Structure 1
Amino acid sequence: MIKLIAIDMDGTLLNEHHLVTEKVKQAIKKASEAGIKIVLCTGRPVHAVYDYFKELDLPQDEEDYVISLNGTVVQKTTDWEIVYSHQLDHSQLKRAEKLIEPFKMNFTYFDEKNYYYTGEATEMLQFDADLLGMEAIHLPLEELSPELTIFKAMYVAEEAELNHLTASMPAFIAENFYPIRSLSYVFELLPQGANKGEALTGLATKLGFTKEEVMAIGDGENDIDMMKAAGTSVAMGNAVDSIKQIAKHVSKSNQEDGVAHAIYEWALK
């Protein structure tokens, strides 16, 4: 019996217009009414989750949570208190930023509330900030306060430009970060030991659920660890091949209410 469903947002919960369809809302509502916990598990910062969370009208009690920034932060939905987190070392951020010098790209990073970037703003940076509904704030790392906790960093660039960077990625990146290509235009640097799967496993254990009682629904490379942490893993119809290969089931696409299909087919039946 499924007791918790972890749902990715972009490309999964949200359609190509970044909307939650009525069919998906109704399926999530029925799952919640059946006693299943719904946990949004996203690469977004929590401030880019609030409006969707309210739209879904999910329960907000002491045992409800959101996993954000690709597993680096877990927050209660009652007051958005951080109950679990990983953070990045500032000195390693400065070392990682130097890699962008030959390229036209931005080095970006997040604290709990803000989206920061270094260098001259590119079109892809603005596209990503607009997608999240956030203002990108220019803050060179030399001006970064030692007191500011940074949970995630990203390289943001056109796909071809980012391909050049990743093709020559030095060993210290993998040695000091958990690197992942989450989107064609985004290469993320997470703290070591942090990912969606690790956060989901920890949360399920805290709530007293076994792996077999957890379902995960996703579409991108950054969902692989989440899929492995769930007894019932569901790839969206629009998912990348690597997700489809490891998932237990493949649902419909995010343009065809794939989350609703997954909930009715493998959680509520």
Structure 2
Amino acid sequence: MNKKYIFFDIDGTLTSHTKRNHISESTFLALRKLEESGHFVSLATGRAVYLAKDIAEKTGVKSLVCEGGNGIIINGELKDYEPIDMEIAKNILRRCDELELAWSVSIEDSTNLVTRNEKIESLITNINFLRNIIVDPNYDYINETCIRRIIIENNEEKYNQIDEIKKIGFMHYEGSPFAFVEPDDKYKGIKKIVEMQGGSEEDIIVFGDGINDLKMFKKAKTSVAMGNAIDELKEIATFITDDADSDGIYNACITLGLFN
């Protein structure tokens, strides 16, 4: 078999969809066998670099497409990073202020978030990877040169009035009191990393389960939806495997002949 370029979403795909960050033994085995078979293996996630690296170290996968397609790591080294469009980001924050919609921003690759409004702190206080909230009533985002993502209060009536959110990307988990405005085109980073490796788009295979995998599924030559994937993803997938807790990745690799 030709060398394939295989990209795994993290949450609900590489990891369990019921226990955060848990990875099954069959998935560890599949990753090892894929690399032994000569394939290029990478993660593809919306997570920040620092969060993606934790899973990378746990699995031994050294290459990542992270930050929703805006960050590229090869062999553990950050090769490329593209911040979100600053003019668009600042216009979104300006509209949030006009609509009295609480927000915070990530301006560096860390747990730190900056906000003017204490309300956002109360909304995300129990989220471990978003705990360090810096409340500064005088914070002026106009002077920023890099914003990585915006976390906003979950108020659908208000955020639906901000058209420019669609120009960046949006992620909201059911029942969550906040939402992320962040890049969601993983395929942009996937295409770039494959080109850097001298590979072909024809040999790309992507695995995923959620709404932020839709764009890469629409563009990838071969796509594998987990059994626990959303219906919209299953409808456009090349192949549907078992769920993340039932050896889904390993079984898909067998079916696709990736260990040959």
State the TM-score bracket (shorter-chain normalisation): 0.7 to 0.9
After superposition, residues 110-121 of structure 1 pair within 5 angstroms as 110-118=107-115, 119=117, 120-121=119-120
Secondary structure of 1:113's counterpart equals coil
Q: How high is the TM-score relative to the length of structure 2?
A: 0.82
Answer whether contact 2:15 2:244 (CA < 8 A) is retained: yes
Aligned AA for 1:8? D
Quick one: percent identity of the two aligned structures? 22
Task: Give 1:221's match in structure 2, choosing from 206, 211, 216.
Answer: 211
2:9 and 2:85 map into 1 onto residues whose CA distance is: 23
In the TM superposition, residue 52 of structure 1 has moved relative to its aligned partner by 1.7
Candidates 234, 251, 255, aligned match of 1:265? 255
| One-letter amino acid of the counterpart of residue 181, structure 2 | L
Q: Report how far residue 256 of structure 1 moved.
A: 1.3
Indicate how the Cα distance of structure 1 residues 253 and 206 shifts in structure 2: closer, same or farther if over 3 A, else same.
same
Matched, 1:98 2:97: yes
- Between the two proteins, the alignment pairs up a number of residues equal to 249
Letter aligned with residue 138 of structure 1: I
**TM-score, with structure 1 as normaliser:** 0.80
Name the amino acid aligned to 2:34: A
Q: What letter corresponds to residue 66 of structure 1 in structure 2?
A: L
Deviations 1:137-181 (CA, angstroms, capped at 9, x unpaired): 225582458455222223354xxxx44345x3333433xx32333
The one-letter code of the counterpart of 1:137 is: I
Looking at structure 2, the residues matched to 265 and 57 of structure 1 have their Cα atoms a distance apart, in angstroms, of 24
Q: Is the 8 A contact 1:44 1:70 kept in 2?
A: yes
| TM-aligned CA deviation for residue 213 of structure 1 | 0.7
Measured on the aligned residues, the alpha-carbon RMSD in Å equals 2.7
Residue among 39, 55, 60 paired with 2:58: 55
Q: Is the 8 A contact 2:92 2:165 kept in 1?
A: no
Does residue 24 of structure 2 align to residue 17 of structure 1? no
What 5-or-longer segments of structure 2 have no aligned partner? none
Are the structure 2 counterparts of residues 73 and 203 from structure 1 closer, same or farther at C-alpha, using a change threshold of 3 Å? same
SS in 2 for 1:239: coil
Residue from 158, 171, 176 that aligns with 1:181: 171
TM-fit CA distance, 1:46: 1.6
Cα displacement string for residues 22-78 of structure 1 (whole angstroms, at most 9, x for unaligned residues): 1110111110111111111111112112222112123x5xxxx31111112112343
